Structure 1
Amino acid sequence: MYQCDFHISRLGDYSLLIQIASTPSKDLLNWLLTKKDDLSKLFNAEVVHTYNELLLKDCISITTNIDSLINQVSALLNVPVSNNDCNGVVHQIPVCYSSLYAPDLEEYALQVKRTIPEIIKIHTNREYPIYFLGFLPGFPYLENLDARLHLDRKSVPSRSIARGSVAIGGTQTGIYPQDSPGGWHVIGRTPISLFDATKAKPSLFNAGDTITFYAINEREYEKMVTSNNL
């Protein structure tokens, strides 16, 4: 069973902020997703989570007894959670690491002092749990990047990064679902569409899912792009 320390405070006029004194981990992610679901059902309210916070939105009205509300929330949070995995989907994402689709890879390799084949091997040899989606619609915040690939974000962000770009920034790796400015180092690109606002389920990913990457060549990339009508 998993339990963690937390602090509850009022945020603005209508919401409660729950801050958790733990570093990111699979157990904490499972706890966050479980408590997020429990809170949203109990209070019929929207709940948003980050790496170690929960925001219970619009749960306070003029007639709300704040002490009673915080006691209710505390009681719910104090129930231990089974430390099973999140049982999310495992997504196998193809990435073309060719220079045609990886404009920053050569410079990035120099800065991390690794060869490009080493970077590809290290990057594709991990499972990356998705903590939450943000920044752009469908952008996955991933954990578990090998420390050998850590590199601070660019000092001067790029004005335009192509959708599908796989990039590294700081201690994280991620995928840009749309064309966007950005400060991460682009080391490849996937032909998979990550977000489509016309679909009933716009995002390919959910928090609690896991991503693994595998390398493809330029021909395979172009074939996938054609088959996906991208």
Structure 2
Amino acid sequence: MKWGLYVVLVLVTLFCWANFVKAGKEVTESQQKLEQVRNDGEESEEVIKGLDSKVQNAAGNRFVNGLLLTFLSAGLIGIVFVIHVLPMLAHRVTHAVYDSGEEVEKDPMHDARSKVAQGDWEGAIEAFRQAAAADPLNRLPYVEISKIQLEQLEDPSSAVQTLRQAIEGQEWQENDAAYLMFRLAGIYDEHMQDRTSAATIMQQVMEQFPESRHSANARHKLHEWGLV
């Protein structure tokens, strides 16, 4: 469809160009004949008027074809620019600005999310482990693994093991460490009915992060459990 439109526009443009050139020749020839008749003085006024009218008609035809030729040429150039040239320039500018000519790095979490969407839980866990290995200080892969083990595989023991390995295997920032510890305590309390272990973790939060909001939240949780 697109190339058919180009062919039609090109053919119409060539037709107008041919008419424009033809009308120009007619104007020139008619003007020369009119000048010759006037100089000879042998023809009647009626013949002179006829030739003059022919010159005017040819000039008008040339003007119309020239106008059409201008619009068609501009339209054809504009269509080519918008459809082909502009997207190419935009792509190159975007590539230069955002990519700096380098290939965009693959998101290590992409494969894991894809497998989650497919319901491939074991495959997702393995992909999240690979993402964790690629970015050891990102807590999200460990959280997602424990979530799959807990909710999809109904294996809270494995979820506890995953979170314990994550907590003990890295030097976490305060917020990340506290988040993982609270999540571990929640699994002990809600899914394994082991409030003693959950309370022990809350005590560890208070000892590890004293005078912090994490310590205050842990104390509040112990108070809810009636342990302080």
TM-score bracket for the superposition, by shorter chain length: under 0.3
Higher relative contact order, structure no. (Cα contacts within 8 Å, ≥ 6 residues apart): 1
Normalising by the residue count of structure 1, what TM-score does the alignment of the two structures yield? 0.18
More helix by share: 2
Normalising by the residue count of structure 2, what TM-score does the alignment of the two structures yield? 0.18
Larger Cα Rg: Structure 1 or Structure 2? 2
